[in-house]
């Protein structure tokens, strides 16, 4: 249906306006142009590759894995800065929930 997922970072997730990624770096390291990647992934044009690399949107899960295979890496490394930001945010939220659960169970 939708070739990409739009991400809007909440204020508490940092100052990134675009989704941080290493897609361009990995593409260049393999010696590919955007049109090469688009053709290999079965896309009709390079616009989606450009949008992913600029951080305007995320590739679908299947395209993320295709990119990882093509670039000879794991999916995590393509979005390592995003992953680090999300880990910090999730850990903070998890800690709040854990404290609440601890407090609730002690009150019984």
Task: Report the CATH number that the domain containing residue 24 is assigned in CATH.
Answer: 1.10.260.40
Q: What is the pLDDT of residues 15-39, one digit of tens each?
A: 557 999 999 999 999 999 999 999 9
Task: State the pTM of this model.
Answer: 0.77
List beta partners, residue 58: 5
CA–CA separation, 89 vs 86, rounded Å?
A: 5
Q: Considering its fold, how many domains does the chain have in total?
A: 1
Q: What is the pLDDT of residues 45-100, one digit of tens each?
A: 999 999 999 999 999 999 999 999 999 999 999 999 999 999 999 999 999 888 88
List beta partners, residue 59: 4
Residue 43 falls inside a structural domain: yes
Residue 23 falls inside a structural domain: yes
Residue 94 falls inside a structural domain: no
Residue 87 falls inside a structural domain: no
DSSP annotation of 55: T
CA–CA separation, 99 vs 83, rounded Å?
A: 24
Residue 48 falls inside a structural domain: yes
Looking at residue 106, its pLDDT comes to: 63
Residue 104 falls inside a structural domain: no
Residue 97 falls inside a structural domain: no
Tell me which residue range forms the domain holding 66.
4-82
List beta partners, residue 5: 58
């Amino acid at each position: 249906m939708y070739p990409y997922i739009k991400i809007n970072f909440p204020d508490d997730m940092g100052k990134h306006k675009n989704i941080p990624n290493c897609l361009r770096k990995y593409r260049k390291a393999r010696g590919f142009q955007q049109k090469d990647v688009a053709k290999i992934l079965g896309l009709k044009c390079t616009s989606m590759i450009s949008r992913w690399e600029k951080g305007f949107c995320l590739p679908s899960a299947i395209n993320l894995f295709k990119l990882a295979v093509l670039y000879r890496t794991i999916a995590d490394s393509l979005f390592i800065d995003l992953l680090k930001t999300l880990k910090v945010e999730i850990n903070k939220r998890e800690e709040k929930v854990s404290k609440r659960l601890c407090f609730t169970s002690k009150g019984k």
